[in-house]
Structure 1
Amino acid sequence: MTMQFAAPQGLGASAPVSTFDAVVETAMFDQPTLVISLDRVEQQYHALKAGLGRADIHYAVKANPAPEVIARLVAVGSHFDAASRGEIELCLAQGARPYEISFGNTIKRAADVAYAHSVGVTLFAADAAEELDKIAQHAPGAQVYIRLIVETSQADWPLSRKFGCDRDMALELLDRARDLGLQAVGFSFHVGSQTRRAAMWGPTLDEMHKIWHAATEAGHNLTLLNIGGGFPAFYGQDIEAPTDYAASVMDQVSARFGEVARVMAEPGRGLVAEAGAIVAEVMLASRKSARDLHRWVYLSIGRFSGLAETDGEAIRYQISTPRDGDPMGPCVLAGPSCDSADVLYEKQPVLLPLSLSAGDRVVIRNCGAYTSSYSSVGFNGFPPLAVMVV
């Protein structure tokens, strides 16, 4: 895509301006729009791969399913973690080969298992006996890995309740998979979303190694370790550089597990978040009374149109405006819908220019992950988040 834009405000006329930066700073949109830089996605892929080394990257498609993102990742050699038939079809349509796709959701429709098997997908996740029965019936002879529950996560968003099983059940499931004629190849786990420091992986890896060792002692020949996601993005708090972070994680994996035949990693947020920015606008700036300590600033985008991860104020996006040189003050930030839950940041107010008013441009940074994929379909009549790929 070739587009011409003026240099963003504050850059000299001779300063190099990427198409992405120019679009984010100057392009006009009639609705909130996520702008994604494919070059930045590719750069992040190579940075993570340099640290992960022998581990295969299986991009978590759910983080951002834009076809152009998938196609670029296919071109640079990525594999994929798919959660549904739709995501498998998307990856295949963009050139991914079936053996490069893992059906990583532990909750699958039988018909979707059969579909995946029919198109050549050979690797499936499970964390329950009934799921193994399903896979054995509809994908006979498939490779399976057992998802382990993580109870030692230090991540901003632990994922310890919905997915995975404990040690004893995991060992039972390996036996059951073998008895069903499946290839029980290993384990997977997820250390938790936005694990900001590589050192935070240590306690989880210790627990996972104990289970791995118990399985090998029980006679299982494990050849696959899927370390999942957790690779962080920058949201204002310091994080390690992606190559250094990934290399540190792999050093910890090797120290505990040795030379496992196959290691998989499933970055999603850590691969695409920093490649995206949302362009929106202020719809209203107001106070509730003369006694109100904080202004309320309402944006054209909210929880139901892409910013679902502001729930609990866990993800605090970086926000910029053309008025950032003006005096600043705290405000409550909210979305446009007629729903009282559509408040983004209130417990910890956001510092924004006091001069902000309706119509002003707002850029939400590092939000290429879990925004377009979480956007609702027309809640309150507001359109879903638009996506522009450059």
Structure 2
Amino acid sequence: MFATDLGSNARFRRQISQKPQISLVPDLAEGIQLPDEQGGLSPRIAKFIATHELPSPCLVIDVDIVEHNYMQMTHALPLAHVYYAVKANPAAEVVARLAELGSNFDTASPGEIDLCLNLGVAPSRISYGNTIKKQADIAYAYTQGIRMFAFDSEAELEKISISAPGSKVYCRILVESEGAEWPLSRKFGCEPDMALDLLLKAQDLGLDPIGVSFHVGSQQTNLNQWDPAIAQVAKLFERASAQGVDLRMIDMGGGFPSRYRADVQPVEDYADKIMSAMVRHFGAALPEMILEPGRSLVGDAGVIQAEVVLTSKKSASEDKRWVYLDIGKFSGLAETMDEAIKYRILTPHDGGETGPVVLAGPTCDSADILYEKTAYEMPLALEAGDKVLILSTGAYTTTYSAVNFNGFAPLEAVCI
């Protein structure tokens, strides 16, 4: 079915099947096994890659790991409603599994709304969380039964009032994102004072202002960032109530991490910080809580198999080699921009002598360099034709893959 030369690399086939650092821990769901905290290769993915012919590059997603991550989050934060951020990975198998488990869904476009609806998700379980929407797209969502919309500006609020009358709306505010490996800019959200005015206006326009949302940045490693954000929201709730608007929902967005090169704390630690902040600032009268995880649910569930296209040097005296892969910024690894997300990579020669490398993609664009400043070392024996595995690539890879840049096909994906 797939045309690739995985079978010729028998050594790699054996190595990924017998990786010594993999130890198994029981999942919350009986029968699912996962790598240990060191983030080794998932045994099920290793077996699949070793026994199937795959195109290169190709993302392999273990949907059971997605289920495990969802169960962990809902177990750690049972009072919160999960709205999976579909943009992280819109594979039908992923969305369908999460739908079966009871997840709600945060969508950013009519296409994502249609995906969820076509898989049997009720409109009441879908929010339109993008704060930048065409008038026609708001109207379309409304005709499909969507009644929950995000906004962060007066113009967007007015569009919703016209095309989605009576809907529930929530305003996104700006918060600090220091500590996030993929920080969010000022593109989304508004200052709290403006948010208050907009929430009051929403009620005047006949909409139902239900609450406030924020996002502390993707791959947030500073667990203390939720407390000041929740404090701002609590103050907004008080000020709105004093002016006759009773807010009842706080949307804390995403920010929960996957495991890349740096260690990350477990979701339980994030949950403790979040719930401590909620009780500190809201007391016993907790509002409805919404989470929008994406990366933390699907990131560690995916592995990209790629191929070395070329290894070379820029001068005879230079120690550092250039390693070119058949996947780059424009074919799924966009989050290496500014070397923000640092993926772990396995090769068939791990354990041998290594040397410093620059990692780059295959296209004719000089920006297609993955890591030049970040210190990466790879085996000296690595050569063209070797297969490599890029770990924790289940999130924001297929969705960032260009359609046809330089004639390269989009990143293929297989769910198991």
C-alpha separation between the residues in 2 aligned to 1:187 and 1:153?
A: 20
Task: Select the structure with the greater relative contact order (CA < 8 A; seq sep ≥ 6).
Answer: 1
Q: CA deviation at 1:28?
A: 2.9
The offset of 1:196, in angstroms, is 1.4
* Aligned position for 2:71: 46
Aligned counterpart, 1:251: 276
Q: Could you say which residue in structure 2 is the equivalent of 1:120?
A: 145
Distance 2:166 2:55 in 1: 51
| In 2: Cα distance, 1:367 partner to 1:30 partner | 16
Q: Does 1:297 align with 2:305?
A: no
Q: Give the Cα separation in 2 of the matches to 1:160 and 1:239.
A: 23
- 2:150 partner letter: A
Distance in 2 (CA, whole Å) between partners of 1:319 and 1:178 is: 51
Aligned twin of 1:24: 49
2:254 is aligned to: 229
The residue number in structure 1 matching 2:215 is: 190
The CA deviation string for residues 4-53 of structure 1, in whole angstroms up to 9 with x for no partner, is: x97644359xx998432212345332320000000000000000111111
Deviations along 1:293-312, whole A, 9 cap, x unmatched?
31000001000000000000
Q: What SS class does the counterpart of residue 114 from structure 1 fall into?
A: helix
Q: 135, 155, 175: which one pairs with 2:200?
A: 175
What is the rounded CA distance, in whole Å, between the counterparts of 2:196 and 2:17 in structure 1?
59
Is 1:89 aligned to residue 114 of structure 2?
yes
Looking at structure 2, the residues matched to 79 and 331 of structure 1 have their Cα atoms a distance apart, in angstroms, of 43
What is the 5 A alignment of 1:343-354? 343-354=369-380
Displacement after TM superposition at 1:333 (Å) = 0.2
Shift of 1:122: 1.0
Contact preservation (8 Å) 2:81, 2:104? yes
1:109 paired residue number: 134
Q: Which residue of 2 aligns with 1:311?
A: 337
Which residue in 1 is equivalent to 2:60? 35
- Where 2:132 maps in the other structure, the secondary structure is coil
Show the counterpart of 1:360: 386
Instruction: Give CA-to-partner distance per residue, 1:70-128, whole Å, 9 cap, x none.
Output: 00000001000000110000011112110110100001111111111111111100111
- Residue identity over aligned pairs, in percent, reads 50
Q: Which amino acid aligns with 1:54?
A: L
The structure 1 residue matched to 2:189, chosen from 164, 173, 179, is 164
* Alpha-carbon separation, structure 2, partners of 1:247 and 1:93: 36
> Does the alignment pair 1:216 with 2:241?
yes
The answer on whether the counterparts of 1:150 and 1:159 sit within 8 Å (CA) in structure 2 is no
What's the offset of the Cα at 1:358?
Answer: 0.2
1:65 equivalent in alignment to 2:90: yes
Instruction: Give, as a single letter, the amino acid of the residue that structure 1 aligns with 2:18.
Output: G
Counterpart of 2:36? none
Aligned to 1:334: 360
Contact 2:182 2:341 in 1 (8 A): no
Aligned-partner Cα distance in 2 for 1:155–1:18? 30
Q: 1:10 aligns with which of 5, 18, 33?
A: 18
On the 8 A contact 1:102/1:122 being kept in 2, the answer is yes
What is the letter of the counterpart of residue 63 of structure 2? L
Contact 1:155 1:200 in 2 (8 A): no
Q: For residues 163-208 of structure 1, what are the alpha-carbon distances to aligned partners after superposition, in whole Å with 9 as ceiling and x for unaligned?
A: 0111221111011111110001110010111111423322333333
SS in 1 for 2:377: strand
Residue ranges of structure 1 left out of the alignment (5+ in a row): none
Go from structure 1 to structure 2 and tell me whether the alpha carbon gap of 1:380 and 1:104 turns closer, same or farther (over 3 Å shift): same
> 1:11 and 1:192 mapped to 2: Cα distance?
33
- Name the SS for the 2:310 alignment partner: strand
Q: Which moved more, 1:210-219 or 1:287-296?
A: 210-219
**TM-score (ref. length: structure 1):** 0.94
Shift of 1:230: 0.5
**Contact between 1:24 and 1:363, CA under 8 Å: does it hold in 2?**
no
Structure 2 CA distance for partners of 1:27 and 1:330, relative to 1, 3 Å: farther
Pick from 365, 374, 388 the counterpart of residue 400 of structure 2.
374
Matched AA of 2:290: M
Query: Could you tell me which of 221, 227, 230 is aligned with 1:205?
Result: 230
Cα distance in 1 for partners of 2:233, 2:183 equals 16
TM score, norm. by length of structure 2? 0.88
Change (3 A) 1:279 1:169: same
State the one-letter code of the partner of 1:300.
D
SS of the aligned residue for 1:298 comes to strand
Q: Distance in 2 between matches of 1:235 and 1:368?
A: 12
* One-letter code aligned to 2:411: L
1:280 matches 2:306:
yes
Residues in 2 aligned to 1:295 and 1:173: alpha-carbon distance in whole angstroms:
55
Q: Distance in 2 between matches of 1:39 and 1:89?
A: 24
1:203 aligned partner, one-letter code: P
SS in 1 for 2:99: helix
Structure 1 window deviating more from structure 2 (242-251 vs 126-135): it is 242-251
Question: Aligned partners of 1:130 and 1:327: how far apart in 2?
Answer: 59
Is 1:384 paired with 2:402?
Answer: no
Q: Distance in 1 between matches of 2:130 and 2:401?
A: 21
- Summarize deviations over 1:136-184 as a string: whole Å, max 9, x none: 1111100000111113543222224100111221111011111110001
1:76 aligned to 82, 101, 111, which one? 101
Structure 1 window deviating more from structure 2 (359-368 vs 344-353): it is 344-353
Measured after TM superposition, the shift of residue 233 of structure 1 is 0.9
